[in-house]
A = this chain, B = another copy of it.
Amino acid sequence: MKKSNSPTMKDVAREAGVALGTVSKVINGIPVGESYRLHVEAAIEKLGYCVNSYARGLKTNRTNCVALLMPSLYHPFFATLTDELTACLMRHGYRSMLMITNYDPEAEKKCLILGHENKVDGVIALTYSPDLKPDDSTAMVTIDRHCGDSIPCVSSDNYRGGEIAAEKLAELGCRRLLFMAVASDIPGEVDKRGGGFEAACRRLHIAYEQIILHDRDTEAPFYDFLLRHIREGVPDFDGIFCNTDRLACRMRDFLLRQGIRIPEDIQLIGYDGITDYATGRYTCSTIVQPIAQIAETAVSLLLDTTGLAVPTNICLPVHYAPGGTTRE
């Protein structure tokens, strides 16, 4: 992993017959006389001079590099979000320094320090540490979880998504609803899915129950709960909203094994909009997160191109999509 002796800016200046400062101006896009610019560009071409972004990073205090903190790429939501964030940063001329944190708050803190050491211009984080703070000089945007009022958080409109799920189940004929959720200790935008669902149920005068488990627990209480609510093959509920597609798919599989028909006996809606990689189809009926727009908004806020006062939260619109677990 040796480095070659690449031509320097001095070599370019000598070749072009101009001052070093002129080369610097051309490289940094500062106007110079047309003939100077052409000489410098010809010299760059001839020598194969390559901009040294590290030296530029030191000089201008900008590195055009953004750290992305992600828990894992094994979950398709995180993977596609990372894809869209990186592609969007590249379109803006930024590079993406990916860091995998494995849902570990200590690893997240170490990654922030590493980002600071590497003079990243900013951080986009999907974190599990509510107290994660970059140093004062590093811009940060979070996704789905808040890290204080000075750090904007971008998410899908989780509350509205919960409302849409209840409204859709009601429209499809459901009269006894259940909300099932896996929640974490760390408060986040995701928690609002249940609030929106409940509010819509009340407004629509539809009976509902809920069962919420901690994400470190097993799913056994979900299964016990469902079994208690199936009497002689007839379930107490005719519609279920799960706070993730993953949970909806798992509950569908469990209910099918109990002889419950989906969607005839129970209709199920999840949240996320995960598609099957082989068929491209939604894995269940779902509230779809606008992943590309979440990525674009997070990047725009970080690069401060929105002209907005720094918001604490930006929620982007979601929509319902059928995926086989509802009657439409």
Contacts and interface: CB of A to CB of B under 8 A. Distances in A.
A217 interface: no
A216 interface: no
Contacts of A95: 97, 99, 114, 118
A284 to B, nearest CB: 9
Contacts of A74: 79-80, 83, 277
A34 B43 CA distance: 50
Interface string A55-68: 10110011101001
A119 interface: yes
Interface stretch (A1-9, A10-18, A174-182, A199-207): A1-9
Nearest to A60: B3
A117 interface: yes
Given A50-B117, A68-B98, A279-B253, A4 B58 contact: no
Contact of A83 (B51, B65, B73): B73
A5 to B, nearest CB: 9
Interface in A211-230: none
A61 to B, nearest CB: 4
A310 B79 CA distance: 32
Contacts of A86: 73, 98-100
Interface residues of A, number: 64
A245 B276 CA distance: 12
**In this complex, which of A2, A72, A245, A246 has the most chain B Cβ atoms within 10 angstroms of its Cβ?**
A2
Contacts of A246: 277-278
B274 A277 contact: yes
Interface stretch (A132-140, A148-156, A162-170): A132-140
A249 interface: yes
Given A1-B121, A87-B100, A279-B253, A54 B52 contact: no
Given A86-B99, A118-B54, A249-B278, A139 B1 contact: yes
A47 B250 CA distance: 52
A63 B253 CA distance: 49
A304 interface: yes
Given A96-B98, A274-B278, 19 more contacts: A1-B62, A1-B138, A4-B137, A6-B137, A50-B116, A52-B58, A52-B119, A53-B117, A54-B54, A54-B57, A55-B58, A73-B83, A82-B98, A86-B99, A87-B102, A95-B97, A245-B278, A250-B278, A253-B279
